[in-house]
Chains A and B, each alone.
Chain A
Amino acid sequence: DAKTTQPTSMDCAEGRAANLPCNHSTISGNEYVYWYRQIHSQGPQYIIHGLKNNETNEMASLIITEDRKSSTLILPHATLRDTAVYYCIVRVGSWGKLQFGAGTQVVVTP
């Protein structure tokens, strides 16, 4: 599976949009981009995934560049409860093991 690169940390003001970047320059055509997050002392939580097209659900939006070498997770209106480590993962197919990196620690401040 392709490796991903994410910033170590970022801050976001409550109520503002949080834009979390992820680079996956070696991604293959059959690899999906997944985002999970992990709130302190909890297990990871699925957020969203996509292959080529942009995706949106009740939690977030996923923007994938046309060349698929990078993506951005957008939390439209960050709340204090969005403070967590966010993981960008790419993998072949839509099932199987997840390979987590170190993720991005997002801190939402009042």
Chain B
Amino acid sequence: DTGVSQDPRHKITKRGQNVTFRCDPISEHNRLYWYRQTLGQGPEFLTYFQNEAQLEKSRLLSDRFSAERPKGSFSTLEIQRTEQGDSAMYLCASSLRTRDEQFFGPGTRLTVL
């Protein structure tokens, strides 16, 4: 257990539905990252926050994806109108500003039917 928690751990949804995932980072960590991982591939960067500011977004993050970190603590990742291609493991990581060893959560596995 790294101290980063994600909820839910598994989500099965039907195509076209909206889903929201939550990440709770290690409490003193001010940086928070989202990654996506498909089977057999390494994680791909989606976006990252420093405190509540979203500082970078990948081109992978289409208009259907939105991430927030309203109070600089937990973060949510929402996918609207899910597609089968969104099926993946969604990973959250957090780090300190002064030492960027990223601590990863266990991930949320999304299956879109």
Contact = CB atoms under 8 A, between A and B. Distances in A.
A97 B106 contact: no
Contacts of B4: 43
A99 B2 contact: no
Interface of A is mostly: loop
Interface string A84-108: 0101000000111111111100000
Nearest to B40: A102
A46 B105 contact: no
B100 A43 contact: no
B31 interface: yes
Contacts of A87: 42
Interface residues of A, number: 18
A44 B43 contact: yes
Contacts of A101: 42
Interface in B99-113: 99-107
Interface in B14-69: 31, 33, 35, 40-45, 48, 56, 58
Contacts of A30: none
A102 B42 CA distance: 5
Contact of B43 (A49, A94, A100): A100
Contact of A43 (B40, B41, B91, B101): B91
B107 A43 contact: yes
Interface in A56-110: 85, 87, 94-103
A96 B99 CA distance: 11
Contact of A42 (B35, B58, B97, B106): B106
A95 B31 contact: yes
Contacts of B44: 100
Contacts of A44: 43, 91, 93, 102, 104
A25 interface: no
Interface of B: 2, 4, 31, 33, 35, 40-45, 48, 56, 58, 91, 93, 95, 97, 99-107
Interface of A: 42-46, 49, 85, 87, 94-103
